Copies of this chain bind each other. A is one copy, B any other.
Amino acid sequence: MMIDLPLEQVRTLLAVVDEGTFDAAAAVLHVTPSAVSQRVKALEQRTGRVLLLRTKPVRPTESGEIVVRFARQLARLERDTRSELGMSGSGEPTRVTVAVNADSLATWFLPALSRVPRDPQLCFELHREDETRTAELLREGLVMAAVTSSPEAVTGCSVRALGTMRYLAAASPDFVARHLEDGPLGETLARAPVMAFDRSDDLQDTFVRGLRRGASGAGPVRHAVPTSEGFVAAVAAGFGWGMVPEAQAGDLLRTGRLVPLAPGRPLDVPLYWQQWKLDSPALAAVAEAVAQEAARTLRR
Q: Report how far A230 CA is from B226 CA in the complex, Å.
A: 14
Pairwise interchain contact A127-B59, C-beta atoms closer than 8 A: no
A45: Cβ under 8 A from any B Cβ: no
Interface centre among A106, A110, A111 (most CB of B within 10 A): A110
User: In the complex, what residues of B have CB within 8 A of residue A126's CB?
Assistant: 223-226, 230
Interface string of A57-75 (1 = CB under 8 A from B): 0010000000000000000
Interface string of A101-144 (1 = CB under 8 A from B): 01001100011011000000101111110000000000000000
Stretch of A160-168, A205-213, A231-239, A268-276 at the chain-chain interface: A231-239
> Taking A113-B239, A220-B92 as contacts, is the C-beta distance between A227 and B227 under 8 angstroms?
yes
A188: Cβ under 8 A from any B Cβ: no
Q: Which residues of A are in contact with B by a Cβ distance under 8 Å?
A: 53, 55, 59, 91-93, 102, 105-106, 110-111, 113-114, 121, 123-128, 193, 199, 220-230, 233-234, 237, 239
Interface centre among A91, A92, A121, A225 (most CB of B within 10 A): A225
Pairwise interchain contact A123-B227, C-beta atoms closer than 8 A: no
Pairwise interchain contact B127-A220, C-beta atoms closer than 8 A: no
Pairwise interchain contact B227-A106, C-beta atoms closer than 8 A: yes
Among B91, B125, B221, point to the contact of A224 (Cβ < 8 A): B125
Among B55, B91, B114, B229, point to the contact of A55 (Cβ < 8 A): B55
Q: Would you give 23 A-B contacts (Cβ < 8 Å), ordered by A?
A: A53-B55, A55-B55, A55-B59, A93-B220, A105-B225, A105-B227, A106-B227, A110-B234, A111-B237, A114-B237, A121-B221, A123-B221, A123-B222, A123-B223, A124-B223, A124-B225, A124-B239, A125-B199, A125-B224, A126-B225, A126-B226, A128-B226, A228-B229
